[in-house]
Amino acid sequence: MSSISFVSSGISSALLLTPRESRLGRDPRRAKTEGLDPIVPSSRWRYAYVVIWRTKWFVMFAMAALLLVSLAVPAHADSQVFHGTFNGVHADATLSASDGCFDTYVSLLIDKGRFREGNGAPTDATELAMEITKYDHCTGRLISDAFALTRNVPDSAFQADTKLASAILDTNVQLEDADTLATFVVAVHVTWTGTGEVFTEHTHDRQVLNEGSYIYLANSNESSRDATADGSVIGTTTVVSGPALAGGLALVHFGVIDLTKT
């Protein structure tokens, strides 16, 4: 087992913040009352969430770089450009457990490969994002919501086949509760087995804000396939254990450009 440290709750809460129905499929509390599967996500949900998650590092670095530049250059400078890229392998899984009125959901996303931010040299790293959410579906109450978001994952913790046949994660993860800010550590062990056809998708996103003073461009080329996943998340007690509700594997080439006119 290797150990993962947690990046601050302020970052995790802000950068993983998306509408719950977008992030977890259907709202689990409403789905229970309607007799629906509460969480199995569509491939489109997984793609949207992965892009949001993958983009957040580049946005963070871009904001920091632009702040430093704004302090160092005259106000009449024309523009500042930030580039970010990722090339590597991706895996995701959604696991769950139920005990009477109480439901627990674990969302797990991993990117392993080569990252580059700005003009810096490329670096090899593994990112991990994880969320553990607990509900009381008898009362419709959210009991707890905890996050982990880090790029400090040891290389040996996650191994994946570039042919998208299989992957394995075996590590410890420290999470922080979104409300109490209390931290806790869980042992995570998940295996993936690729199933079905491999799909290739190219996407392009362009956003222009503030009358053209800010332009955001993102391109992604991704070969992906569904995967069966099985594993466990264990803290002081077993959080979840068994087959995942959904899983996926992908090879990714992703790039983002931020242009800010000053």
pLDDT tens readout for residues 131-148: 999 999 899 899 999 999
Percent of the chain topping pLDDT 70? 69
Contacts of 230 (CB under 8 A, 6+ apart): 190, 191, 242, 243, 244
- For the chain, the average pLDDT equals 76
* Strand partners for 124: 114
Per-residue pLDDT reduced to its tens digit, 202-225:
988 888 877 777 788 888 899 999
Query: In the prediction, which pLDDT does 23 show?
Result: 32
175 with 130: CB under 8 angstroms? Answer: yes
Domain that holds residue 256: 3-261
Mean per-residue pLDDT, 21-26: 34
d(CA 233, CA 40): 18
162-176 pLDDT, tens digit each: 999 999 999 999 999
17: left (phi over 0), alpha (psi -120 to 50) or beta: beta
Contact 168, 93 (CB under 8 A): no
Residue 83's pLDDT band (cuts 50, 70, 90): confident
**Does residue 76 carry a pLDDT above 90?**
no
| Tally of structural domains, the chain | 1
- Bigger pLDDT: 151 vs 26: 151
Written as six digits, the tokens of 125 are 């790293």
Residue 140 neighbours by CB distance under 10 Å: 13
pLDDT of res. 81: 79
With 0-12 CB in 10 A as exposed, 13-18 as middle and 19+ as buried, what is 74? exposed
State residue 24's pLDDT score.
Answer: 35
